[in-house]
Structure formats: structure tokens, C-alpha cells
Amino acid sequence: MKKIIFSTILMLFPLMSAFAQDVIGRWKLEDGTAIVEVYKNGDSFNGKIVWLANPTEADGTPAVDNNNPDKALRSRQLIGLNMLSGLKKNGTEYSGGSIYDPGNGKTYNCSMKVEGDILKVRGSLDKKGLIGRTMDWYRVK
């Protein structure tokens, strides 16, 4: 009987671990300014802004992508904007994608890893992630 219980627990452990480490969902940025919804599209993971602490410009219109280097994209609204794209699952990490920072209009290489209810998001200038910084995003329940 003990052997059956032990075997059952061993079989369920990877499933529980995979669920706890699931990147899909809503994540609040460490500075509290936005919530990003991470979703899967085909075999890649992307993320779009779904909430902003300051959703409007000074004149009351919806916040837009003012800092985008492409002038044609500066009028697009920030809510709904895809800021994570092309991340692929690689073991316990998601990598090979990019992150767009609407605060400065720049796009960086991106990798991320789930640690409980914290998503460690690394934006970097190089593909290996050596030159950059890591931000903590917190799961929204």
C-alpha cells in the first residue's frame, strides 16, 4: 500500500510542479505601473499590457506609445500593446524573445523564469543576457 501511495505521489509531482511554474497569466510589474498578461500563441509566449496605473494622458485621452522610435506607431494605445514576444520554453526558462519598453521606446532581448508567484524577467542588450537587468513581476490572482 505504501508503495502505491509513493508511486502516485511521484507521478503527480511533475504535474504539480509544472502548474506552479506556469508562466501563463497576469503579472504586475515590480513598480506597480502595469499588469501584463502572458499568453501562448503557437509555440511561443507573448505578453500584452492589460492594465495601467495611469491609463490616460494629461488631456484625458488613452495613454499611447509616445516614445516609440517609429513615429507611425506613436498613436497606438498602451493598453493592449504587445510588449513581450517570441519567448520559447527551454526547460524551466523562457528565452529567445524580446521585450519592448514603452517608457523609453527600446526593444531588448528577453528571458524569464517563474519562481513561485514571481516572474523573473530579464531584459538585455546581448542574446546571452550578460548585459541587462532583471525585474520581478508578481502574479495577479
CATH number at residue 29: 2.40.128.520
The confidence score (pLDDT) of residue 126 equals: 87
How far the first Cα of the chain sits from its last, in Å, is 38
Domain count, the chain: 1
- The owner of cell 526558462 is 93
The confidence score (pLDDT) of residue 20 equals: 41
Contacts (Cβ under 8 Å, ≥6 apart) of 78: 34, 49, 52, 55, 62, 63, 64, 65, 102
The confidence score (pLDDT) of residue 3 equals: 55
Beta bridge partners of 57: none
Nearest to 48 by CA among 31, 60, 65, 66: 65
Mean pLDDT split into 10-residue runs, the chain, 141 residues: 46 42 93 97 97 96 97 97 97 96 96 97 88 96 89
The confidence score (pLDDT) of residue 10 equals: 41
* Residue 38, domain extent: 23-139
Q: Is residue 7 part of a domain?
A: no
